[in-house]
Every structure is written in C-alpha cells, then in structure tokens.
C-alpha cells in the first residue's frame, strides 16, 4: 500500500504582517526626512563661515542644496503619513485628523512656505544674500528644520475621523496639493522679484 504523500514543510519563520511593514516603511521615510532637515541646518551653519562666503561658487552650491533639501523633506512626510495611516490618510485633508494634528500641520506648512520662499529669493539675489547680517543663514536653516520636524511629528498626532470627512477630492488630492503649492510659490516669487528689481 503506497504511503501518503509527505506534507510540505512549513517554514518556522512567520510572515511579517502588512501593517508592520507599513509602519516600518513609514519610519524609514520619516528618518530620511529628518536627515534632510539636519542637512539643511548643517549647510546653513557652514554658510556662516567666512571661508565659505569668500568662495562664491561653494556658497551658492550650499544654498541650492539647502533649498532643495528643504523643499523635499515635507513631501516625504506626506508619503510617510500615507504609509503610517493607509486607511484614512489623504494628501489634502483640511480640518481633519484631530485638533493637535491640524494645528501642527498648519504651523508647519506656513513656516515651510515662508522659509522656502526665503531660500528661493536668496538664491535669485545671491550677491545681496551674501551681504546679509551674521546669523541670518543660521536662522533660516533653523526655521526650515523646525517646519520639517513639526510636520514629521504631526504624523503621530493624526487621529482618523469618519471616512466621509476624508473622502472628498480623493482622486485628485495629490495633484491639487502640488498645483496649489506651485501656484503659491510662483505668485510669491513674482511679487518679490518685482519688488527687488524696482529698488
């Protein structure tokens, strides 16, 4: 009589739950965003050195990298929020997520927009930026890092509300956010550039 087929051997290692994978990915993305914040702060500290300011090209490169890192870090927190709260997170969710989350998001995004515009204006008027008083670059870098860390920490304050509150604009939420930021930055830069040229 033939013996019954051997049952397949099951691996003793358990599969990682999808929720745990998402939390791990969210933590990695938030760590990268925090690293970019630290990079912005270090670059602006370096811009305070006379050796860096006397080398015009080196100072311009540091300012450009700081501006790019400052622009990218909050975008990473948006992606991290999606991984941390996959069922309820939306890229545009006004007045949703709890009072603490809303306050921190509002403060973080307003400070981020202000510092990013300051970075861009400084880059466009680089010769005048080199004449800024001592400590100006450091204050700008500290403000940018504060904005990014505020947005990063706000993910932990997110509290899911009803799906109906979060569902509006689901299909085009990311595009709407990007378009709004680009239009706002373009208007601000245009006004500042006109004012600078008129002086």
Q: Tell me: the pLDDT tens digits for 174-187?
A: 555 555 566 666 65
**Interatomic CA distance for residues 150 and 57, integer angstroms:** 32
What's this model's pTM, rounded to 2 decimal places? 0.69
CA 54 from chain centre, in angstroms, equals 31
DSSP 14: P
Residue range 94-109: mean pLDDT, rounded: 88
The tokens describing 96, both together, are 């949703």
């Amino acid at each position: 009589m033939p013996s019954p087929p051997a049952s397949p051997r099951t691996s003793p290692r358990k599969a990682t739950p999808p929720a745990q994978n998402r939390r791990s990915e969210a933590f990695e993305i938030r760590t990268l965003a925090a690293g970019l914040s630290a990079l912005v702060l270090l670059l602006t500290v370096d811009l305070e050195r006379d050796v860096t300011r006397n080398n015009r090209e080196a100072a311009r490169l540091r300012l450009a990298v700081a501006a790019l890192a400052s622009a990218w870090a909050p975008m990473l927190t948006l992606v991290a929020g999606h991984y941390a709260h996959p069922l309820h997170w939306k890229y545009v969710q006004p007045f949703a997520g709890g009072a603490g989350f809303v306050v921190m998001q509002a403060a973080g995004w307003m400070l981020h927009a202000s510092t990013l515009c300051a970075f861009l204006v400084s880059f466009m008027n680089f010769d005048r930026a080199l004449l800024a008083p001592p400590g100006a670059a450091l204050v700008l870098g500290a403000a940018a890092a504060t904005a990014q860390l505020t947005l990063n920490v706000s993910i932990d304050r997110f509290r899911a509300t009803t799906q109906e509150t979060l569902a509006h604009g689901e299909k085009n939420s990311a595009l709407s956010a990007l378009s709004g930021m680009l239009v706002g930055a373009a208007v601000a830069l245009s006004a500042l550039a006109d004012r600078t040229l008129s002086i």
